[in-house]
Chains A and B, each alone.
Chain A
Amino acid sequence: EPEVTQTPSHQVTQMGQEVILRCVPISNHLYFYWYRQILGQKVEFLVSFYNNEISEKSEIFDDQFSVERPDGSNFTLKIRSTKLEDSAMYFCASSGGGGATDTQYFGPGTRLTVL
């Protein structure tokens, strides 16, 4: 069964450093998402992406964050200058179609630790 994959599984970085989290969505999917979960808190929506542009973003997704689909298979989340409060599990998801009825398929997550 097709699945969403994410690399790395765990990333440790120093405060102020740039990180890039990578995701390979399911191959025929067109809609892509990033969510995050700070330890002990809710899974929170960050951004949705379709047709090479952001379709919606949350207030968390400020200028330090960016997303890109650099080729036909990868979908990346970049944090330009990491802060301690960026430490969280980051989940990538994809769906075949837009709209609320289409199931979002999630990857296993990348745990980001900012020291």
Chain B
Amino acid sequence: AQSVTQLDSQVPVFEEAPVELRCNYSSSVSVYLFWYVQYPNQGLQLLLKYLSGSTLVKGINGFEAEFNKSQTSFHLRKPSVHISDTAEYFCAVTPSEFGNEKLTFGTGTRLTIIP
């Protein structure tokens, strides 16, 4: 079984400041890792995913995440945030074996951008 921990339920950040949203996971098998974003009144949208290869993954809207296998982490970062980044961010994992596509999510981090 897999589990995902997002320690920060809320993160307030000033506009144009950098941000890091933390995600740690636990799994006895290899996993793929995802970050989803949910803007107000919208569905979950994929920001980026790590499947294999380079541990630094770039996604949409200037976000990137780094997979650290030894620390079982997949933290999300952005060097300069905008008001439009205000949203809920979810980290998720799924086992990398074929046919098992169930996503296991963390509890989410609400990012609030302060003008």
Contacts and interface: CB of A to CB of B under 8 A. Distances in A.
Nearest to B107: A42
A72 B56 CA distance: 40
Nearest to B41: A108
B43 A100 contact: no
Contact of A100 (B36, B94, B108): B94
Nearest to B105: A43
Contacts of A75: none
B106 A107 contact: no
Given A91-B43, A106-B43, A108-B41, A101 B105 contact: no
Interface in A57-104: 58, 91, 93, 95, 98-104
A100 B105 contact: no
Interface residues of A, number: 29
B46 to A, nearest CB: 5
B60 to A, nearest CB: 12
Interface in A3-35: 3-4, 6, 31, 35
A104 B103 contact: yes
A100 B104 contact: no
Given A41-B107, A42-B107, A104 B43 contact: no
Contacts of B41: 108
A98 B99 contact: yes
B100 interface: yes
